[in-house]
């Protein structure tokens, strides 16, 4: 029999797509959990409340929050009934994809914080996670993951005005 913590966390590693891992937590409550990111952590919050500490900054996370943690960084989160989804992306894969798509191997500045404050992107990833959880086709799962990471990279390469113009197109593509 699984304990309560195991029932609240689900991990997926897509078949033949070792650059990705998905983690979904449901109603997770913990005092403070410090972690070391070995890959990019792309996350969104569906419900509950969390306090994310990253790069000496604390940020409250609630429904719709969207964040990115860089590899080789220490971060912690205090959670209260937090439901969240993370996609973990291997750094070399993301850097290669960024170089191909936007001509820059460093998708994020070291000075930027984890919060992207992009509600459209947050909803896009929330829909992506929901579709991934019910998808049976490996090809469709791979396509969804690549689509999500590509949209994230594109959102970081455009200015805020361009991001607003493509908002509804993002949601309709998932």
Digit-coded pLDDT (tens) for 87-143: 888 888 888 877 777 676 565 554 455 555 667 777 777 777 777 777 667 777 777
Provide the number of structural domains found in the chain: 1
CB 15 within 8 A of CB 145: no
CA atoms within a 13 Å half-sphere pointing along the CA-CB vector of 3: 1
Residue 92 belongs to domain with CATH number: 2.60.120.280
Residue ranges of E strands in the chain: 9-12, 20-37, 40-54, 57-61, 66-69, 73-89
Q: Which domain holds residue 86?
A: 7-173
Convert the pLDDT of each residue in 76-85 to its tens digit: 999 999 999 8
Query: Is residue 100 assigned to a domain?
Result: yes
16 within domain boundaries:
yes
Return all residues near 1 (Cβ < 8 A) that are at least 6 apart: none
Tell me which H or E stretch contains 93: helix 91-102
What pLDDT is recorded for position 72? Answer: 92
Q: Is residue 88 part of a domain?
A: yes
pLDDT in tens, 30-58: 888 899 999 999 888 989 999 999 988 89
Question: Per the domain annotation, does 2 fall within a domain?
Answer: no
Q: Is the pLDDT of residue 159 over 50?
A: no
* Reported confidence tier of residue 2, pLDDT bands at 50, 70, 90: very low
Query: Does residue 161 have a pLDDT over 70?
Result: no
Q: Which two tokens stand for residue 165?
A: 């113009």
pLDDT of residue 96: 80
Q: Give the pLDDT confidence score for residue 104 in this predicted structure.
A: 66
């Amino acid at each position: 029999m699984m304990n309560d913590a195991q029932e609240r966390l689900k991990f997926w590693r897509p078949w033949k797509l070792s650059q990705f891992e998905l983690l979904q937590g449901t109603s997770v409550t913990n005092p403070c959990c410090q972690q070391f990111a070995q890959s990019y952590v792309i996350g969104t919050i569906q419900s509950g409340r969390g306090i994310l500490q990253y790069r000496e900054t604390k940020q409250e996370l609630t429904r719709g929050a969207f964040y990115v943690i860089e590899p080789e960084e220490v971060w912690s989160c205090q959670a209260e009934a937090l439901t969240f989804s993370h996609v973990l992306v291997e750094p070399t894969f993301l850097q290669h994809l960024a170089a191909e798509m936007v001509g820059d191997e460093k998708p994020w500045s070291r000075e930027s914080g984890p919060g992207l404050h992009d509600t459209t992107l947050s909803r896009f990833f929330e829909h992506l996670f929901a579709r991934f959880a019910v998808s049976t086709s490996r090809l469709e799962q791979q396509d969804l993951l690549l689509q999500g990471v590509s949209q994230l990279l594109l959102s970081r390469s455009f200015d805020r005005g361009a991001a607003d113009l493509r908002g509804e197109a993002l949601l309709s593509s998932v």
